[in-house]
Structure formats: C-alpha cells, structure tokens
Structure 1
Amino acid sequence: MVVVTPGVDFIALSLVKITVPSALFAFSLRALSNSYNYHVPTWALVSGSVLFVPLLSMARIIYKRFDDKRQAAALGARLAPTIDGKSIGNLDILSTMRRLWDTGYPADGLTEVFSDKGPVANMRILWSDMIFTSSPEHIKAILATDFHNYVKGKRFHNNMFSVLGSGVFNSDGDMWKFHRSMTRPFFTRDRISDFELFDRHADTAMTLIKERMRSGHAIDFQDLMSRFTLDSASEFLFGHCVHSLTAGLPYPHNSSYVPPESKTPQSNRADDFARAFLEAQEIISSRERYGWIWPLTEILGDKTKEPMKVVNAYLDPIIQEAIAKKDAAPKSEEVKAESHVEDGKTLMDHLVSLTSDPVILKDETLNIMIAGRDTTAATLTFIIYFLAMYPAVLVRLREEILAKVGPTRRPDYDDIKDMKYLRAVINETLRLFPIVPFNTRESINATTWASPDPTQKPIYIPAGTKVPYSVFLMHRRKDLWGPDAEEFDPDRFIDDRLKKYLVKNSFIFLPFNAGPRICLGQQFAYNEMSFMVIRFLQQFSSISLAEDAAPPEAIPPADWATSEGRKAIERVYPKVHLTMYANGGLWVNMKEADNN
C-alpha cells in the first residue's frame, strides 16, 4: 500500500495545478497555430508552457492587489499597512519569524512591526494576505459584533485536523454549535463548584512538594501542575484518573541523585500520554506558523501520526467502555444536547448519551482536555513564578487567604468569590501571560475595520483573508493599560486604574476569548486555580526560584537583559505552542508554613 504523506500530497496537487494549465495552454496554442497554418517553434511552445503558470499567478496577484484597492475605495476605506520584506514573497520575514518563534520572547518581531506600522499590519507571506491585529476594536468585531463573518476556516481546519479533528476548537457552523451544545450543560455552577475532586489531587501534590523540599532538591512546579491538572481533568471529564502524580517527579538536571524506580505501568502510560499530547500540539502549532506551505515540512510523513498513536491508545479504551456501558444500560428517553447532566455523571457519560460515534467523542474530549488541562497548568505555573518574583504580593495574598479561609479549612465557592486580591493576582497573571496569546480567524465576506488613527480611512479586509490577532500584545499596550503596562501589579484590577482602563473598554482584557465562542470553562478554570493557590499558600509561606536547578533551556538568553520591558527582567523562558508554557519548566524551592 502506498502511503501518501502531507508533503507528497501537496507536491502532487501542486504539480497538477501547474501541469494541467500549462498543457492546456500548449494544446490551445498549437491548435490555434495549426488553424492559421503557422508553425510555432518548439522552443517557443516549451518556453510559453513553462512560463504560463508563473505569469498567470503573477497576473492574479497584481490583479487582486488592484481589485482590493478598487473595492476599498468603493467602501471609503484603505488597504492595511503592508510589511515589505527583502526577498520574494516575504520569505525573509517568514524565516525571521520562525527563528524568533523558536529562540525569542513571545511576540518578538511582531512587537517591532506594530511599533512601526501601528496595531494592524498585513504580513503578506508568500503573496497571501495575513492581516495581523492587536486592536481591541478589531478583535471585538472578530469575536463578537461581526462574529458570523469570521470562521476558523478550511486552512486552519486542515492544519489542525490530525490532532483536534472536528472538535469544538476546530470547527465552524453547525458542527461547532453541535459540539458546544454537547458540553455546555457540564459547566453549570453546581459542577464547577464541587471541590472534593480538586482537594484529593491537591493533597497529593502538596505531599509531593513537602517530600521534595525535605530531600533538599528543587521541584519543577510546571511539571507538578501539569500532572495535577491532568489527573483532575481526566477524572472530571472521563471518570478515569490517569494517576500521573504517582509517576515520580523529575529531579534537577545537575543532581547526582538517582531515585529508585517507582513508576507503575499505569503511571508510565500517563507520562507517555502527556508527552505525546504535548508533541502533537507542538507539531500542529508549527504548521500554522509555516502557512500554506507547511506540508513541505512533512514530506516523509505526518509528524502527528506517532504521538497520536499513543494518545489514541489511551483514549480509545475509555471511549469504547463508555459506549459499551451505554449500550448495556436500559433504554431511556432521548437525551437532548442541552439537557441537565445528572449528578455523578462524567462528561464522557453525557457525550455518549448524545452520540455513539467514537470519532466525535474523541475529537470533543481531546479539545476539552487541552482547555481543561494545559491552560490551567500553565497559568498556575506563571502565578507561582510571579509570587516568587514578587514576595510582597505573596505575603499580601497569603494574608487574605488566612483571613478568609484560615490555615487548614477547605475553601468553598463563596470563599473564592469573596477573595478580591486572589482574583486580581490571577487576572494580572493572565494579562501578562494570556494562555492563548495568539489566535486566528478567516473573513468570509469583505468588510472594513475602524482605523486605529481616527484621522485616516477605515481598513479594508478582503473576503477569505486570514486575520490573526494577539491578546498577548494587546494586554501589554501602554495606550490601553497605562505606562506601567508591562509591570506585574495585581492592584490594577482593584484601584482607580480598573475604571480608567478596563471598565471603559472591557475588550482590552480577553484571557478566555469573548462573544459566542467565549470559553465555557472560564469559571471552572478560575475555581480550580483559586482552589489550588489557596491550598498551596495555606501550607507554604515562601517561594524562591531555583535557577541553579533549572536545565539550560529554561534560562533566558543573556542578551534579553539589554531589551526593553518585561523581556529584560524575565527569569523564566516563556514559549508558545497552542498555549503558553515555561520552557524547561519552573524550578523552585519552598518553605513550609509554621502552622503545618
């Protein structure tokens, strides 16, 4: 059997697109010459056939540019400012952005572009419009006021399909509505405020921290939180905890200690699942950054195939068990997507009551797993990073926790709701490190965006245009957040700055998206993160960064110190695949509180 890879398929399709028009041109030219009894020289026929498609493509590019200007003028608008590279098709810009993505600080390259062009610019990689924005007015149109004119689009869907399938994050229209309606009932208040599950896994995590601190070794807090959220999410969603917290935590790279083998077959599978899931996400996010030529990077095969084998090997038995359980149960009345979920039922139980299609079930659970696990783990990591960087914030937050909850009591929903400083710390972390810092949509119909400069005409957005946007850049704009926009200061969500900036324009802060596609699990995430922070600070009184324990890839490059803004003072290496994370982990030491 011949295995067709994404790269081979792309090349084959490209050859068809090139050879068929060239052959038709040659045939037509020969037929025309014969009808006039004129012999076209072979060299002219061959040359014309070879040049036909490139010249036709060039003509199309020129015509589209001309037509866009004409359409913009008809709407009283202008084209978006264009970034002009030094090489054909702006390949130098693509190369630079790829390099900065791998080795730089988030948004490196884009920051310079927006400081020069303003908050919206057309990167036109390989002659394809890609109008990037960090403007709250434009993002509001994309996500809310003109929602129906923007979709994920076929290109995005194809890039992500081998991992996300047609799940809620990779679908549009009726399929998106179907997936969203299936999961919405599961995120009601009574479910997201049930903290018993969080508490069990939090206790395990706290015990692991104490054991590690007593051994005299630093701990990778990001790794710990990834395990905590994976165990919590898998039990909450599937009713099957992967028990990744039992797999044994990594030791510092420079430690000579060799821990005894403590992994069970189950914990090994959990580690393999987590590692493969991360690898698959990194691959599809890389595809998106390469644009429409990404298949050329996978000539030898679909790079997601092997990691997804591991992911599927873990999920398939859970899905089949859920389907079998449903089939064996007495037949009941038809369940509607929006129906209330009974107590004791998992998301998987609810989903199989709506469909027995294993593909749909797997797509949805994987999409929700990314939302329920990766995002929370990373945000908790950056919260602890900031508490280590800013001890005064930790002291004040711990005082609020002890005053509201005390040193040992388990917090409840009302406790969390009343803790204003805790919410401010979480929000400030999400502002500086929004968990999905870059996102994209595609326009359906031609439209216009308001000009960032009110003295200029609106900006024309052609139909079928890719429109990436960055809340990471928007959250750090000094014209939106004040001159201290790049400083970590939770009080901005409490003091007069709240009214001055955020209240008058709520779209400058979008850590959980907005509009019809706003994150269904937003309050669930706030509750889980709040609960974990409370439990942590009840038992630990201080945190310090253990940079000597961190591997080399976790240390920011030395030249960052000469940069501006947060980049110059950062002591972790923030990076992005689909979501943000700390490269190499977050290695810290902690001190147990006296009350323990």
Structure 2
Amino acid sequence: MLQNLPPGPRFLVRRIHYISTPPVCVLLGTTLARTLGGVQLPTAAVILAYALSFPLFLLGYRAWKNISMKRAAASLGAAMAPMAKLESIQIKGENGYPRDFLFRLCEVWGNSFILEIYYLKRIFTVEPEHIKAILATDFTSFEKGAQFRDQMHSLLGVGVFNADDELWKFHRSMTRPFFSKDRISHFDNFDRHAADALEQMKARMREGYAVDWQDLVARFTLDSATEFLFGKDVRSLAKGLPYPPTAEGRFIPADEYDFAAAFLKAQTVSAARGRLQEAWGLGEFWKDQVLPHKASVDKIIIPILEDALQRKAEKAAVGFVESKDISDDDTLLSSLLKVTDDRQLILDEISNILLAGRDTTASTLTFAVYRLAERPDILQRLREEILNVVGPSRRPSYDDIRNMKFLRAVINETLRLYPPVNSVKDTVLPATTTQQPIFVPAGMKCIYSVFVMHRRKDLWGPDALKFDPDRFLDERLQKYLTPNPFIFLPFNAGPRICLGQQFAYNEVSFMLVRLLQQVSAIEFVPEVAPKSVVPPEYTDSPGSDGTDRVWMGNHLTMYAKDGLWVKMTEATNE
C-alpha cells in the first residue's frame, strides 16, 4: 500500500511517529497542566513550546543515542570510531577530484571514522580488515539495508543487488549455474559487436573526427550484454556514433527512447538520491524521477520477456518437459525461466545483471584506453604481447587471453585505480594495527570506498598513485597483494563476490586485443569536447598524482564526464 504513494508522502508516513511525538508530548503536557494543575498557559507560550519541541526532542534523542552506543561498545570491549568533522578539511565541491573529501578526512581522522551528514551518522572505512569483516568474516551481520533498498527500488526492484537474506540467496542460486563456465558463444558474441564498433570507429576517424571511446564501448557492452542475457541485442550501436561538440553542423539526432540513454539517466537519478540519504523522497516529492527512464528500458525488455514466457507456455501446453539443466544454448533469460515464471522477479533480475554486465566493463575499457593513450610505452608493450600471442588478425581464444600476463596486469591496474557498496545487529569491526575494535550499532550504515583503499600508499607502496601494471607482475605483488588480498576488491569479495567477473575479464580482454590489433597509437584529445576538460586545480588532491587529465564522475559506476575523446592511428601490421 505504501509503495503506491509518491516518494514524499511515503517518506512522511513511514516517519509519522518521529514527526508526531514532539507536538503530541506538548499537547499532553499542556492538557495535564490545565486539567490536573489548573494552569492555563498563555497562547504565546504554547506556540513557543510547539516550535521548540522538535529541536529539543532531536537534541535529547541524539544525547540518549550517543550514551547508549558508548555503553554498548564498552560492554563488547570495543570503542566508537572517531567522529570526523567536515570543517577540519577543505571541501572542493563538484569540481574536485573524486572522493577528495574522503582522502582528506582519512589524512586527519584515520582510515575508519564516523561521518555525520544531514544528522545521519554512518561509519566510513578503508581498512582491509574492516572491509573483510563486512564482506566475508562477519557477513551475516551486515546487509544492504532498508534505506538502500528503498533508494534503489525504482531501478533495481527486488533483484540480486537490492536484496538481503533469503531473497538474496534465492537470486544467487538462480544465476550462479549460468556463470559457472566459460562458453565459446561468449566470444562469438564479443566478436560480432566488437567488429561493428571498431568499424564505425575507424570510419569516423577517416572523416577526420575524434571518437568518444566511452560512448562506443558503452554501446558495445550494452549490445553484447543484452544478447548474452536475452539471446537478442538492443542494437544500440546501430544508432551511430556522436560527433565531437566542436564539429559544427555534424550530429546524431537524439532519441528520447534510446535504450542506452534511458538506462544511463535512470542510474544517474538513482545515484543522486544518495545525497539526501533516507530523505531522498523529499527531493522527488510528488513524482518518482527514475520511473519514466526505467519505463523506456522496460519497453524494450518486457516484450522479449513476454515472448519467452509465451513460448514456455506453448511448450507446456503440448506436454513438452524442458530439462532443468543449463545448456550451452541457454541465455540467462531462458535459464531463469527454468526456475520461475514470476515476471517481476525475472525482470528485476535481468535489470540487475544488465547493470553489472554492461557498466563495469564499459568503465574499465574507458579508463584502460585513457591510460594507454597517456602511456605510449605501455601501449606498445601491450601491443607487442598481443601480436606475439594472437597475431595481427586472428580472433583470440581463451588460452590466448590466459597466456597474456601483461594484458591481465594492465586490466588489473586499471581496476585498481578506477574500480567500477549496513549493519543489522550490534557488531564489532576487528582491531587493526592502528585501531582497537570498532563498535557498529545496529542499523548504522557502513560505507567503504574501494577507490580510496586502492590508492593508499601504505597498502600499495609509495608509487600507489602511479599507473604501473608491473606491480601485478614484479616483487611488489608478493610484498603487498599476496599477503593481504583484501586490498584489491574490484569485484567485491566473500558471498557477494561478482559471479560474472570472469565474463568481464574476458570481454575487456577481447575488446582490447581486437583494438590493438587494428590501431598502433592513441591520442587523448579532450579539447574537442570542452566540457570534458578538467577544471583548474582538479588534481590538487591526496588521491591524485597530479597528472590526471580525465574528469571522473560517478553514478553507480565511474565514468568520464562528457566522454573520453580520442584519435587513433590505424595499424599497418607490415
């Protein structure tokens, strides 16, 4: 019933007990004073009491909560994390480096602290041992939480990334068999869409224009992901590639029903809700801003789903009994239909897997090519490995990709620097070398940042901010990562580890191989799209080595603002 209300009224109804308690207490107090004590308070005093009831109630509740948390922490032999003060650092706003304020807070308050925004407290950590507890060793004490599920419901529904407890286990059990092995059909899929994407890219460059590599790979991964999921792609590459904003008179007409654009907008609005936390409904009081964009996405997916359900019903009507086993011919959709007929459940699950399967690989490919453009020496070394193992034109195989160690190192280093996630009962984060065990009150949100952790110099060495794939090949691997694997978490870890990580590695590897078989040099040219140029003092951050030229943004995954515009030199392969 509540879910049918607009976001604002729904937020207020769910918190009516908090909203009504202060004025009800004043009403009861004035009534008792009049009926039992014969005291008739002046109207002005009553109005003042009502006005002051809310801040006084809030102050009293906060004081009681703080005392309760400290007592509970002491009873468990733990301590509260330090309370970080935002006024202790310089905050640069939207033009600053990604997570700059978190890098600066860590410098002042350590690697785990309490952060209070809009009177809501949450624990922030970049300690590997704490993240390990959240994801693995104390996994059952943590969940996505009601707040996150409410914030993301418009986009993710009750899919695997928005589920907890038994529903989450059910989703994992449905999808795990499909990701249990590599398939030749995956490479057939990649090859078709990579060939289409790269031919369009070369044609555009022959016209003399730069290409938005981010847009191209987002469409490549969307088409390959939808074919992987449904057995039928949404043909986002067929729309054509955009021209640079500085190319006067050249454009690709906008399509308000474009699947890729609608999917991106739905993610952006969903992620923006995090700024208001639990109160996001007040920012979309009368209308859920995600639903129109999600409807454009569903307009493509639902007919495919309905067609599959109808085919299943027709088979059942003639007595055909389909095997429950997952075959090489199955798509994710057909494998889900072997488990359930619930339309909404399947739709939500497909939307969740589509988000993961498309955006994470597109992000990795975007920033990998950016770094290759900035480091021609690494590009040439990688290209040499590809030509030595695969040659200038042959399609790479699984064995080829497994044998290219430098390719895997380049991808891992991209995932390290550009990684594409609450507590249900009183629990404790374990002690570290710098902090005693930290108490986590029931219901307090725990936030960790892989982006910040992946750039810690004490975990990765003094050159942690530098792009250097060799750290995954030389002695630094044994020194830093091998003894402490939880410092590298591009695909999460523990029970929630990404089921599709090998699929993602294969797709990124395949596209990079096909790209570098056909181009010998890449130039990053942000000036053709002025809005993509980083603002002044962008790199003045503890998280940057000062050389960043790409303006990073973040919705549910990391991306380059206003695109990653590049020019490439076609290879002669003589």
TM-score, scaled to structure 1: 0.90
Quote how far apart the aligned CAs of 1:304 are. 0.8
Matches within 5 A, 1:512-551: 512-549=491-528, 551=529
1:74 aligns with 2:66: no
Specify which of 265, 280, 283 is matched with residue 269 of structure 2: 283
Quote how far apart the aligned CAs of 1:451 are. 4.0
Counterpart in the other structure of 2:55: 54
Structure 2: distance between partners of 1:567 and 1:302: 40
SS state of the match for residue 542, structure 1? Answer: strand
Matches within 5 A, 1:1-20: 4-11=5-12, 17-19=18-20
Specify which of 88, 109, 117 is matched with residue 117 of structure 1: 109
CA change 1:113–1:310 in 2 (3 A) is same
Provide structure 1 residue ranges, at least 5 long, that are not aligned to the other structure.
Answer: 87-91
Amino acid at match of 2:335: H
Amino acid at match of 1:385: Y
CA change 1:260–1:509 in 2 (3 A) is closer
Specify which of 456, 476, 481 is matched with residue 502 of structure 1: 481
Structure 2: distance between partners of 1:220 and 1:30: 69
Cα deviation 1:87-130 (Å, max 9, x = unaligned)? xxxxx99xx97x73x33221111110001111111112233221
Amino acid at match of 1:497: R
Specify which of 536, 560, 565 is matched with residue 538 of structure 2: 560
1:588 aligns with 2:566: yes
Matches within 5 A, 1:227-306: 227-258=219-250, 272-306=258-292
Structure 1: distance between partners of 2:277 and 2:270: 11
1:369 aligns with 2:370: no
Specify which of 537, 553, 559 is matched with residue 575 of structure 1: 553
Amino acid at match of 1:493: F
SS state of the match for residue 189, structure 1? Answer: coil
The answer (yes or no) to whether the contact 1:105–1:575 under 8 Å persists in 2 is no
RMSD: 2.4
The answer (yes or no) to whether the contact 2:186–2:228 under 8 Å persists in 1 is no
The answer (yes or no) to whether the contact 1:424–1:494 under 8 Å persists in 2 is yes
Structure 2: distance between partners of 1:211 and 1:85: 50
Quote how far apart the aligned CAs of 1:343 are. 2.5
Cα deviation 1:490-517 (Å, max 9, x = unaligned)? 0000000000000000000000000000
Structure 2: distance between partners of 1:32 and 1:230: 67
Specify which of 433, 438, 450 is matched with residue 430 of structure 2: 450
SS state of the match for residue 556, structure 1? Answer: coil
Amino acid at match of 2:61: R
Structure 2: distance between partners of 1:321 and 1:397: 44
Counterpart in the other structure of 2:381: 396
Any runs of at least 4 consecutive aligned residues in structure 1 with deviations exceeding 6 A, and if so which? Answer: none
Structure 2: distance between partners of 1:206 and 1:485: 33
Structure 2: distance between partners of 1:320 and 1:68: 51
Structure 2: distance between partners of 1:522 and 1:402: 25
Counterpart in the other structure of 2:367: 382
Cα deviation 1:324-350 (Å, max 9, x = unaligned)? 111111345586xxx531232211111
Structure 1: distance between partners of 2:121 and 2:541: 30
1:200 aligns with 2:195: no
Counterpart in the other structure of 1:224: 216
Amino acid at match of 1:390: R
TM-score, scaled to structure 2: 0.94
Quote how far apart the aligned CAs of 1:188 are. 2.4
SS state of the match for residue 541, structure 1? Answer: strand
Counterpart in the other structure of 2:304: 318
Quote how far apart the aligned CAs of 1:592 are. 1.2
Amino acid at match of 1:469: Y
| Total equivalences in the alignment | 570
Cα deviation 1:157-184 (Å, max 9, x = unaligned)? 0000011001000000111111111111
SS state of the match for residue 411, structure 1? Answer: coil
Specify which of 149, 157, 168 is matched with residue 141 of structure 2: 149
Matches within 5 A, 1:348-497: 348-435=333-420, 439=421, 442-454=422-434, 456-497=435-476
1:511 aligns with 2:490: yes
Quote how far apart the aligned CAs of 1:314 are. 1.5
Structure 1: distance between partners of 2:520 and 2:554: 30
